[in-house]
Amino acid sequence: MAAIPPGREDFFNLDAYLLNACINKNVKIDFNVNATAEKVIAAVADGRFSRVVIATGAVPLEASFPIAEGANVLQAWDVLKGSGGVKDEVVIVGGSSVGVGTALLMTQFGTLDNETLHFLYLQKAEPEANIYRLATEGCKHITLVETERIGGDIGLTTRSSMLADLKRFKVNGMNNTKVLEVTKDGVIVENAEGRKLIPADTVILALGSASNNELYQALKGKIEKLHVIGDAARPAKALNAIHMAYAEAARISG
């Protein structure tokens, strides 16, 4: 999902690198296997495994504010994975890297692709001002709402460029703004200017994540050599998860 927003495609390379590194180290990978607590306990009892490391990741947080029945509310993770249902008047709740990335992805809908823009520019088929408009004005109107500052968890250099893109693609960013309620008509927010309704036919939640450690809790106390790493231990960045995995592997082999 991290590789889906515009300009973040390099995460695909990281994914491919880690998979190939495992293959080169003769790591056996069982795909399409649901590792239930019962299966894991049985495998340890049979001697198939001597240690179990839980790296089950995280799940998106749900909203703590009221949501009216029938409101079109989606999780940002589902939108990034390509689920439908996103209409034209969009409010994204949560201005972290996930919220910003989702907003930038939404800005691409209705804009012309690079090949078409390149053709129009070379052929001088449209005035440059029109070409720029076709490249930056999509079919969705997007408002990004954050309780603190938008992009606060993004590195300084990357944040600067991503905020510039939000401005370029006319995303309405609202810092220091609290969401009070989602209605069928939109999102009621409150900030220093008071309360207001932001009209919306789609609300996307990017509220952060919580550890998906149900399997760890189910196995805790039943397996002697049991450890948990990555987002399953505490939600953080990809590099934090990789570092925890490296440290765990070094400890096991050590």
The answer to whether the pTM exceeds 0.75 is: yes
Backbone phi and psi for residue 234, each to the nearest 5 degrees, phi listed first: -160, 130
Arithmetic mean of pLDDT, 198-217: 97
The mean of the pLDDT values for the chain is 94
- Please check the confidence at residue 93 and state whether its pLDDT lies above 90: yes
Q: What percent of the chain has pLDDT over 70?
A: 100
Amino acid 84 reads G
| Per-residue pLDDT, 146 | 98
Residue 130: its pLDDT value, please?
87
The arithmetic mean of pLDDT across residues 188-202, rounded, is: 97
Weakest mean pLDDT among 18-22, 53-57, 134-138 = 134-138
Kindly tell me if the per-residue pLDDT of 7 is higher than 90: no
Q: Which domains does the chain have, with CATH numbers?
A: 33-58+210-253 (no CATH), 62-111+137-207 (3.50.50.60)
Percent pLDDT > 90 in the chain is 81
The pair of structure tokens assigned to 252 is 């096991």
| Residue-level pLDDT at 131 | 86
111-124 tens-digit pLDDT: 888 888 888 888 88
Residues 66-79: tens digit of each pLDDT: 999 999 999 999 99
Separation in Å, CA 170 to CA 56, 75, 99, 225: 37, 22, 15, 52
**Short-list 94, 97, 91, 105, CA closest to 61:** 94
